[in-house]
Amino acid sequence: MSGTAGQVIHCRAAVAWEAGKPLVIEQVEVAPPQAMEVRLKILYTSLCHTDVYFWEAKGQNPLFPRIYGHEAGGIVESVGEGVTDLEPGDHVLPIFTGECKECAHCKSEESNMCDLLRINTDRGVMLSDGKSRFSIKGQPIYHFLGTSTFSEYTVVHVGCVAKINPLAPLDKVCVISCGISTGLGAMVNVAKPPKGSTVAVFGLGAVGLSAAEGARIAGASRIIGVDLNPNRFQEAKKFGVTEFVNPKDHNKPVQEVYDKWRS
């Protein structure tokens, strides 16, 4: 165990106090992990639009104060009782769609919606005791998606941690925990394009580029990238995109442009 194991850690975190108001860098207390929990030292975290959406609190139940963030890479600082497959020093990615490895969904090849750890955006506390591991001068600060990576230290359920090769650069692989797995996973595991097929990807951001990479891996012969920003095409080629369509260049629906190409 690390020298801080079992102790409260004082660190910095970006706290959202109100919907749509700027995040505030605060000194927070991070409690030790309880049974089947892991405390992580977050070294890199990125920003996903999902964080922004729930920070704006438009169309869903607001829960504040809260620490957002779910795309990150870090190192295990300490583990709670019952954790046997992780130890301090392991390089990991926090995962917001966790796996208990015991329920019917976790044992199925067709689902990852774990009965215990499926996404719950309204839950701001840990499952073991219904309490937050974050606080400021005694005031609880809510978790987000079970990850809360906008903090130098965070506590997550062991089922929401993926151990990775320590040689992998954490500043780059941090996006695997959401953006890359979302796009590539949707293409390879859901769309499953047949080899030699034509695939269109709408939007060439992180998720779109990952979907294009998934189509390339699946063996698609034509991967058409659709985006309003023509500057993205050159970068998209690295991910397998073979052709580019900017809807602004046409006065008809994009699918009709495709029809002309097929004819």
Say yes or no: 133 and 246 in one domain.
no
Of the residues 159, 177, 195, the one at which a domain ends: 177
**pLDDT for res 260:** 57
Return the number of other C-beta atoms located less than 10 Å from residue 32's C-beta. Answer: 18
Q: Is residue 214 a contact partner of residue 197, using CB atoms and an 8 Å limit?
A: no
The whole-angstrom separation of Cα 79 and Cα 95 is 16
**pLDDT for res 52:** 92
pLDDT at 58 over 90: no
Say yes or no: 144 and 240 in one domain.
no
Q: Is residue 263 part of a domain?
A: no
Say yes or no: 23 and 138 in one domain.
yes
Q: Is residue 125 part of a domain?
A: yes
Sign of CA dihedral 156, 161, 164, 169: negative
pLDDT at 153 over 80: yes
Q: Is residue 4 part of a domain?
A: no
Say yes or no: 116 and 205 in one domain.
no
Of the residues 153, 177, 201, the one at which a domain ends: 177
- What are 22-57's pLDDT values in tens digits? 999 999 999 999 999 999 999 999 999 899 999 999
Higher pLDDT, 129 or 61: 129
CATH number of the domain to which 91 belongs: 3.90.180.10
CATH number of the domain to which 248 belongs: 3.40.50.720
Say yes or no: 49 and 86 in one domain.
yes
- What are 157-171's pLDDT values in tens digits? 999 999 999 999 999
Task: Quickly tell me which residue has 């850690």 as its tokens.
Answer: 9
Q: Is residue 120 part of a domain?
A: yes
**pLDDT for res 258:** 66
Q: 109 - beta bridge partners?
A: none
Say yes or no: 62 and 147 in one domain.
yes
Higher pLDDT, 243 or 261: 243
For the chain, the domain total comes to: 2
Return the number of other C-beta atoms located less than 10 Å from residue 93's C-beta. Answer: 25
What is the Rg, in whole angstroms, of the alpha carbon atoms belonging to the chain? 21
Q: Is residue 226 a contact partner of residue 195, using CB atoms and an 8 Å limit?
A: no
Tokens of residue 26, six digits: 């605060």
Say yes or no: 91 and 146 in one domain.
yes
**pLDDT for res 170:** 95
Residue-number span of the structural domain to which 236 is assigned: 180-257
Of the residues 127, 151, 177, the one at which a domain ends: 177
Tokens of residue 151, six digits: 């903090």
pTM: 0.88
Tokens of residue 202, six digits: 């709408």
- What are 205-253's pLDDT values in tens digits? 999 999 999 999 999 999 999 999 999 999 999 999 999 999 888 887 7
**pLDDT for res 60:** 79
Lowest-confidence region among 66-70, 91-95, 192-196, 249-253: 249-253
Mean pLDDT of the chain: 92
Say yes or no: 243 and 154 in one domain.
no
Q: Is residue 262 part of a domain?
A: no
Residues 6 or more apart from 176 whose CB is under 8 A from it? 93
Say yes or no: 241 and 150 in one domain.
no
Residue 224, burial from CB neighbour count under 10 angstroms (0-12, 13-18, 19+): buried
Q: Is residue 173 a contact partner of residue 93, using CB atoms and an 8 Å limit?
A: yes
Q: What is the DSSP string of the chain?
A: --TTTTSPEEEEEEEB-STTSPPEEEEEEEPPP-TTEEEEEEEEEE--HHHHHHHHT-SS----SB----EEEEEEEEE-TT--S--TT-EEEE-SS---SSSHHHH-SS----TTTS--TT--S-TTTS--SEEETTEEEB-STTT--SBSEEEEEGGGEEE--TTS-HHHHGGGGTHHHHHHHIIIIII-PPTT-EEEEE--SHHHHHHHHHHHHHT-SEEEEE-S-TTHHHHHHTTT--EEE-GGG-SS-HHHHHHHHH-
Instruction: For residue 263, name the pLDDT band (cuts at 50, 70, 90).
Output: very low
The whole-angstrom separation of Cα 151 and Cα 148 is 7
Say yes or no: 26 and 93 in one domain.
yes
Q: Is residue 1 part of a domain?
A: no
